Structure 1
């Protein structure tokens, strides 16, 4: 998937792209949600990412959760379809992500303990204590999750 976006960026530079993405909310037994601290901004977000060409939202979500968090999950319910945000990454890349935000359930695996190219660390957060999110879309998803459980 990274090669697909890398190839697009080689052609268009930092010009805006519309990309499809999937993100998920995994809650533990204490009703805390798992978030990832991102390597690019140092802020927090939901595990997830962009779809590879030909990939479904649900399949991308399962793949991204495994890559970002070390966990196999199953999407349970679509919580939000988001298409309003425009975001510029620290490197200047501009995107309008069309994101499907799912509630997921744990299937198998254990949380990653090492830094990856996208994840500095993973932590569970109380729904009444949001961290600093890396963009408005993730803050809005946290609000949707709070409303879902209120």
Structure 2
């Protein structure tokens, strides 16, 4: 994944020390009222995993604007946020270069407006619509993000340690 400039600048000062960063996940839904709606999925270039679009919120950027920007940058799809679906905290992680990170993760449900998905910025090797009934294999956390976005509940779900804490 492409590292934002502000993170690179922080890394110059803190080295590999843990960083707490705001992250967003965009679950873009097309044909929401269809019997089997479609969700926008990308195949990540760094590990080959299928996920919804994810990204980092830039300093001063509203998270809803960040998720719209990330979807457009990564897939060429235009979408609008409908609601905040989930708030979670990822497990601490370490990148191959030794950088430590943990994310407060905000999952948004978005509605498709226009555009056909394609890997637009090099962060992904594929981008496509997938029927909810035929999603590719997903990790438990990514599946939980999608499920929260697709739920009929208008309230956001709050997760800590993999458990719903609402």
TM-score by length of 2: 0.75
- Cα RMSD after superposing both structures: 2.4
Written as runs of structure 1 = structure 2, the 5 A alignment for 1:92-131 is: 92-112=98-118, 114=119, 116-131=121-136
Q: Between Structure 1 and Structure 2, how many residues are aligned?
A: 147
Q: 1:91 Cα shift? A: 4.0
Q: Where do 5+ consecutive residues of structure 1 fail to align? A: none
Written as runs of structure 1 = structure 2, the 5 A alignment for 1:1-150 is: 2-29=4-31, 30-112=36-118, 114=119, 116-133=121-138, 137-145=141-149, 148=151
Structure 1 residues 39 and 92 mapped into 2: Cα distance closer, same or farther (>3 Å)? Answer: farther
Give the Cα separation in 1 of the matches to 2:120 and 2:97: 20
Structure 1 residues 81 and 128 mapped into 2: Cα distance closer, same or farther (>3 Å)? Answer: same
Give the Cα separation in 1 of the matches to 2:92 and 2:140: 9
Give the Cα separation in 1 of the matches to 2:97 and 2:135: 26
Q: Where do 5+ consecutive residues of structure 2 fail to align? A: 153-166
Bigger Cα displacement from structure 2, 50-59 vs 75-84: 75-84
Q: 1:84 Cα shift? A: 4.4
Give the Cα separation in 2 of the matches to 1:96 and 1:62: 22
SS state of the match for residue 58, structure 2? coil
Q: 1:8 Cα shift? A: 1.4
